[in-house]
Amino acid sequence: MNAPKIEQSICEFLQEETIGEELTKSMIYSIKAGGKKFRPLLFLATLDVFDYSITQAEYNVASSLEMIHTYSLIHDDLPAMDDDDLRRGMPTNHIEFGEALAILAGDGLLTEAFHLLSLADIEPKKLVNIMGILSASAGTKGMIAGQVEDIQAENRQVSLEELQQIHEKKTGALIKSAVEMACIIADVNIFVQGKLEQYATSLGIAFQIRDDLLDVIGDETLIGKHTGSDEKLNKSTYVSLLGLSGAKEAFYEQCDKAQEALNQVKLELNQSINSLTLLDEILKELKEIA
């Protein structure tokens, strides 16, 4: 239910705020290319733990997360980056619209994400706070820094610790921001926020390990992109460093850490550990895919 609403919110906003038919088509093409809307749904799932009522303001926040994530995918697929021609089972944006327009579509999504966020009817102090969290997680100390380090790590062996530090920024920062922003909006206490951030950190690491596993053993028809790209680019991955069985063990270890952090949140909120939340469901779905 939430995923279609997020997609609709983004597409309507882009159609209203964009000059240029081809630019609009290019941005919407990637927004509507599928995907599970993992980051915005994580944001909404965190709010759901506190029975927080979801309004258009929260959909604006969720949508801005998805716009930033989609921009990063468009740029990741470019010839100068990962040079992929398939994403979510469809031709990548630069294959469909050309490299120049793909770059500008990514730029547009990133910029308009903050435009959309600025329009959210949220208490001004909170809105400034979440803008800071989102920009930092996507910026030069977060996702972009991780992407640079990932490129620089090609054609050389990195340690497991280095690899984890790269992906905590490249993949984990935006995932963690989804939880952080929800905590700010819902006025969560420091203990609960800390545990939810632990949940998000472990979830982000697990998400990346799963991605590394799928690049080796995944079915291209199911994951919607070519496998073997990490090996082609000679990247260090959890699989290359730990082997398949070791990577799977590390994956489930991070899932267990995330679950334990979430259980501590439930205890603090006087909820049953066995009660299922949407955050439990996210973990369950992640395990099923791997």
Report the predicted TM-score, pTM, of the whole model to 2 decimal places.
Answer: 0.93
The pLDDT of residue 287: 85
Point out the least confidently predicted range of 74-78, 158-162, 214-218: 214-218
The pLDDT of residue 156: 83
Residue 41 and residue 44: Cα distance in Å, rounded?
5
CA 160 from centre of chain: 22
Per-residue pLDDT, averaged over 179-190, amounts to 97
Contact between 106 and 67 under an 8 Å Cβ cutoff? The reply is no
| Domains (range + CATH), the chain | 2-289 (1.10.600.10)
Residue 120 and residue 135: Cα distance in Å, rounded?
16
The pLDDT of residue 224: 52
What residues contact 185, with CB distance under 8 A and at least 6 apart? Answer: 47, 52, 58, 61, 122, 126, 130
To the nearest whole percent, how much of the chain has pLDDT over 70?
93
The pLDDT of residue 233: 61
- Between the alpha carbon of residue 209 and those of residues 12, 15, 33, 194, 265, the distances in Å are 34, 36, 23, 23, 25
